[in-house]
Chains A and B, each alone.
Chain A
Amino acid sequence: MTDASDADAAAAPLPAHYFDGLSARPREVLLRLHGPTLHIDGADGLALRVRADRVRWPERTRHGARIAPLRDGGSLQALDAQAWDDWARRSGVGESAVVRAQQTWRSTLIALALLVLLAGAGYRWGVPALARVLLVALPESADRAVGTAALRSFDGVLLWPSKVPAARQEALRADFAKAVASAGPALADTRWELHFSDSPTHAAGQRRGLGPNAFALPGGSIVVTDELLTLLQGRDDVLLGVLGHELGHVRRRHGMRLLVQAGLVATASSVVWGDFSSVLATAPALLGQLAYSRDFEREADADAIALLRGAGVSPAVMTELFERVAAQRGKRAEDDDGGALGLGLASHPATAERIARFRDAAAR
């Protein structure tokens, strides 16, 4: 604590209430700190001596009462908080840096600034890094389980049996396998499985599918819709780029990373917001998904470029994809059908930026 003689001289005894923990009746006492010992003396003859470092001293605040619980179940209660604080300070009862920080606006503002920095850095680097570490611990069998479950849940809801002839499907699979094999070890070692599905946006029935689209699920399932094959008719080289992009998602376990990252952001935001509203707590997690998935698209595009190069195709062919999508979207708007076109493309980075990326890759 502090120098005993010093404290004795400075601090006059403090009147307070003592509760023995067995009765709710307060007893009037005087408190005096003699070096490491706290003296509690009552007018009714009470004379307690306790070790000052065993007392759970209350923290200094501007509002609120002061209660100091003692080890044996008894407690001391201040009659006046201000007088208690003065006495504690003069008697040499220390206070933690946290308590001091809480009581000044300067340190509060520093804490806030650090919070903002921390949140930004954690969001940009911390969460993805942590997710990558956690993903190492998560077996790949988990990916497959998630992917299989997801694929099954789409059956008959978003995806229907493909109308593309089996021979054509096999040919596309073989082409893709050949390209993957020559695309370098990272991509070649990735497990994949190619599925073809029909997913019309507005067929005769009540069906509302994805339209022209391709997506990858954790564990290696890559789904290509019949509508995408129709859109890319005659341009199997472009389709190869699309498949390379999806294989990139598989190789980097983007689906699982997104799940883990969303979980991490949700946890962090529930620490901050959870008290107040669970709706607000989930909002940052949703926003987070968007920003992260944009990063993932960039990475997957890089893999698409690698695959195309390995197959001896110029990455520039990918501009055809964006042109055809844009053309179809224009036609659709005139067709008076909102449609779900480009549902999967919505989270992709701005098309212009992606076109530029593939053109640059072709030029290099």
Chain B
Amino acid sequence: MIDTIPMPLGAPGGGSATRPFGFSGALPERHPLAIEFGGSGSEYFRIWSVNLLLTLITFGLYYPWAKVRRLRYFYANTSVGGHPLDFHGDPRRMLRGYLLVSLMVALYSVAGKVSPLAGLIAFVLVAAVWPALLRAALQFRLANTSWRGLRFRFDGDLRGVYLAMLPLFVPGALSLLGVLSGAAAPRAAAAMSGLSMLVVLGLMPLFLWRLKKYQHDHYVFGQIRTELRTGAGPFYLLGLKTIGVALLAGLAVGTLTMVVGGFAALGAAFGVRSGAPSAAAIFGFILLFLIAYGAVILIVYPYVTAAMQNLVWGRTGGRLIEFESALGFRALLGLTLKNWLLVLLTLGLYLPFAKVATTRLRLESLRVQTLLSPDELESTLRERADDAAGDAAGDLFGLDIGL
């Protein structure tokens, strides 16, 4: 997974006409930049508690300040080549974007409950502005992140993000047709929504690839630009492997559940004369099902996370930069299980510790080297950061744009 970058960086492979910098054919010197995360769980726990309280007693208005503090803490503890990252977002502006998006979400969730038509209209509207919001969030986050005094930049255009999300619109339109024709022909509508589910499943890897490609093709830092050097193939392979892992996990957990459940059923059969499932047995079955479901999620989620990070970052590079990612599935699985167990046992108090530990593992499995001395990096332009609305959207809808 690690050394799969198709073209050795720095080798003058693709014609020199497009090379803006004056390498004269000789192999440039590599500058490995060590990535270290020095955050502490107990310290973040203190920051988290105090800021959560402030957020709740201000009815959420303090949230942007808490978020900026959290980001600045995590960034200040992320050292790349001996220099930390910093986040510059202005909480007051983020509050504006945050309120805007909250309003949108509130209207969206109410609309669906008032009438199917209103819900449909809200859905279409959200789907229409969604890609633009995603781009705004990426622009905002990157423009407000700095390293060695230089701001990052995201230069993907509006057209690009809509094209990238196109695979998601096709099944969306299909199910829309299904809903619209639903009143007239329920059976056709059911077939249509079933079809669109299949289409979604089939297009998911393609969509993920296009989305990741859009993101990773447009990161800019000084003279450095990145691109994602892969087709959709590995994403489909990852999709198949994920289904395999899910099946295996389901089989293992399912067998265990059956064994335990079987004993429970036997007990119930001998315990109750009529042989009817007692309330306790039914409750037990539900509990077992939930445990099995959770266990599958707990195994599949770390698998996808690790494989995805390795795939995407392992194939991200540029003329002047090269990434590698070696996030181990077993390491992440162990950490995830430990985190969940402790979060449940402590009723959530372990959350900040879990967050710090996961960030450390994920960050420290990344390697990066530049083919230009970092001292020689220069900003190509200085521009104002974009509106904060996008960043708030990214956070509320759970879009991971951090790592």
Known: A63-B40, A105-B46. A21 touches B274 (CB 8 A): no
- Taking the complex as formed, is A107 at the interface, i.e. its CB lies under 8 A from any CB of chain B? yes
Most buried by B among A62, A73, A138, A274: A73
Q: Which A-chain residue is minimally distant from B278 (CB atoms)?
A: A333
A104-119 interface code vs B (CB 8 A; 1 in, 0 out): 1101100110110011
**A272 to B51, alpha carbons, bound, how many Å?**
11
Which A residues lie within 8 Å of B146 (CB)?
67, 69, 75
Contact of B115 among A69, A114, A145 (CB under 8 A): A145
- Taking the complex as formed, is B328 at the interface, i.e. its CB lies under 8 A from any CB of chain A? no
Which B residues lie within 8 Å of A273 (CB)?
348, 351
Which B residues lie within 8 Å of A334 (CB)?
274, 276
- Taking the complex as formed, is B129 at the interface, i.e. its CB lies under 8 A from any CB of chain A? no
- Taking the complex as formed, is A343 at the interface, i.e. its CB lies under 8 A from any CB of chain B? no
Q: Which B-chain residue is minimally distant from A76 (CB atoms)?
A: B149
- Taking the complex as formed, is A102 at the interface, i.e. its CB lies under 8 A from any CB of chain B? yes
Q: Which A-chain residue is minimally distant from B54 (CB atoms)?
A: A98
Q: Which of B56-64, B207-215, B308-316 contacts A (4 or more CB under 8 A)?
A: B56-64
Q: Which B-chain residue is minimally distant from A98 (CB atoms)?
A: B50
A18-39 interface code vs B (CB 8 A; 1 in, 0 out): 0111111110000000000000
- Taking the complex as formed, is A174 at the interface, i.e. its CB lies under 8 A from any CB of chain B? no
The smallest C-beta distance from B372 to any residue of chain A, in angstroms, reads 10
The smallest C-beta distance from B114 to any residue of chain A, in angstroms, reads 5
**A30 to B151, alpha carbons, bound, how many Å?**
24
Known: A74-B149, A146-B113, A149-B115. A23 touches B378 (CB 8 A): yes
The smallest C-beta distance from B363 to any residue of chain A, in angstroms, reads 13
Contact of B50 among A63, A73, A111 (CB under 8 A): A111
The smallest C-beta distance from B59 to any residue of chain A, in angstroms, reads 9
Interface range, A side? 35 or more
Which B residues lie within 8 Å of A21 (CB)?
149-151, 379, 382
B43 touches A63 (CB 8 A): yes
Contact of A336 among B222, B276, B382 (CB under 8 A): B276
A118 touches B50 (CB 8 A): no
The smallest C-beta distance from A71 to any residue of chain B, in angstroms, reads 12
- Taking the complex as formed, is B116 at the interface, i.e. its CB lies under 8 A from any CB of chain A? yes
Q: Which B-chain residue is minimally distant from A276 (CB atoms)?
A: B351
A111 touches B53 (CB 8 A): yes
- Taking the complex as formed, is B277 at the interface, i.e. its CB lies under 8 A from any CB of chain A? yes
- Taking the complex as formed, is B84 at the interface, i.e. its CB lies under 8 A from any CB of chain A? yes
**A273 to B376, alpha carbons, bound, how many Å?**
43
B113 touches A142 (CB 8 A): yes
- Taking the complex as formed, is A59 at the interface, i.e. its CB lies under 8 A from any CB of chain B? yes
Number of B interface residues in the complex (CB < 8 A) = 62
- Taking the complex as formed, is B45 at the interface, i.e. its CB lies under 8 A from any CB of chain A? yes
- Taking the complex as formed, is B326 at the interface, i.e. its CB lies under 8 A from any CB of chain A? no
- Taking the complex as formed, is B30 at the interface, i.e. its CB lies under 8 A from any CB of chain A? no
B63 touches A145 (CB 8 A): no
Which B residues lie within 8 Å of A42 (CB)?
none
A19 touches B148 (CB 8 A): yes
A101 touches B84 (CB 8 A): no
- Taking the complex as formed, is A169 at the interface, i.e. its CB lies under 8 A from any CB of chain B? no
The smallest C-beta distance from B78 to any residue of chain A, in angstroms, reads 9
Which A residues lie within 8 Å of B45 (CB)?
108
- Taking the complex as formed, is A9 at the interface, i.e. its CB lies under 8 A from any CB of chain B? no
Number of A-B contacts (CB under 8 A): 157
The smallest C-beta distance from A304 to any residue of chain B, in angstroms, reads 26
**A22 to B223, alpha carbons, bound, how many Å?**
11
Q: Which of A98-145 contact B (CB under 8 A)?
A: 98, 101-105, 107-108, 111-112, 114-115, 118-119, 122, 138, 142, 145
**A24 to B380, alpha carbons, bound, how many Å?**
12
**A232 to B115, alpha carbons, bound, how many Å?**
35
- Taking the complex as formed, is A263 at the interface, i.e. its CB lies under 8 A from any CB of chain B? yes
Contact of B73 among A64, A104, A338 (CB under 8 A): A64
Contact of B113 among A19, A24, A73, A259 (CB under 8 A): A259
Known: A102-B50, A108-B49. A146 touches B374 (CB 8 A): no
Which B residues lie within 8 Å of A274 (CB)?
398
Which A residues lie within 8 Å of B375 (CB)?
24-26
B76 touches A336 (CB 8 A): no
A114 touches B43 (CB 8 A): no
- Taking the complex as formed, is B305 at the interface, i.e. its CB lies under 8 A from any CB of chain A? no
A75 touches B113 (CB 8 A): no
Which B residues lie within 8 Å of A279 (CB)?
294, 297
Which A residues lie within 8 Å of B54 (CB)?
98
- Taking the complex as formed, is B275 at the interface, i.e. its CB lies under 8 A from any CB of chain A? yes
Q: Which B-chain residue is minimally distant from A346 (CB atoms)?
A: B279
B149 touches A63 (CB 8 A): no
**A19 to B377, alpha carbons, bound, how many Å?**
12
A326-343 interface code vs B (CB 8 A; 1 in, 0 out): 000000011011100000
Which B residues lie within 8 Å of A336 (CB)?
274-276
- Taking the complex as formed, is A271 at the interface, i.e. its CB lies under 8 A from any CB of chain B? yes
Which B residues lie within 8 Å of A101 (CB)?
50
- Taking the complex as formed, is A349 at the interface, i.e. its CB lies under 8 A from any CB of chain B? no
Which A residues lie within 8 Å of B374 (CB)?
24
B149 touches A59 (CB 8 A): no
B56 touches A271 (CB 8 A): yes
A273-292 interface code vs B (CB 8 A; 1 in, 0 out): 11110111000000000000
- Taking the complex as formed, is A261 at the interface, i.e. its CB lies under 8 A from any CB of chain B? no
**A26 to B148, alpha carbons, bound, how many Å?**
7
Q: Which A-chain residue is minimally distant from B381 (CB atoms)?
A: A22
B52 touches A65 (CB 8 A): no
- Taking the complex as formed, is B38 at the interface, i.e. its CB lies under 8 A from any CB of chain A? yes
Known: A58-B76, A271-B56. A22 touches B377 (CB 8 A): no
The smallest C-beta distance from A100 to any residue of chain B, in angstroms, reads 10
**A281 to B245, alpha carbons, bound, how many Å?**
25
- Interface residues, chain A, CB within 8 Å of chain B? 19-26, 56, 58-59, 61-67, 69, 73-75, 77, 98, 101-105, 107-108, 111-112, 114-115, 118-119, 122, 138, 142, 145-146, 149, 259, 263, 268, 271-276, 278-280, 333-334, 336-338
Known: A21-B382, A98-B54, A108-B46. 16 other contacts (CB 8 A): A23-B377, A24-B377, A25-B375, A59-B72, A61-B76, A63-B40, A65-B83, A77-B149, A111-B49, A114-B53, A142-B110, A145-B115, A149-B116, A271-B52, A279-B294, A336-B274
- Can you name 18 A-B pairs with beta carbons within 8 Å? A21-B151, A24-B374, A26-B149, A61-B73, A62-B40, A63-B38, A63-B40, A64-B77, A65-B79, A75-B146, A102-B51, A108-B46, A111-B52, A115-B56, A145-B115, A146-B113, A275-B351, A338-B282
**CB-CB nearest 5 A-B residue pairs:** A19-B149, A64-B76, A65-B84, A24-B377, A24-B148
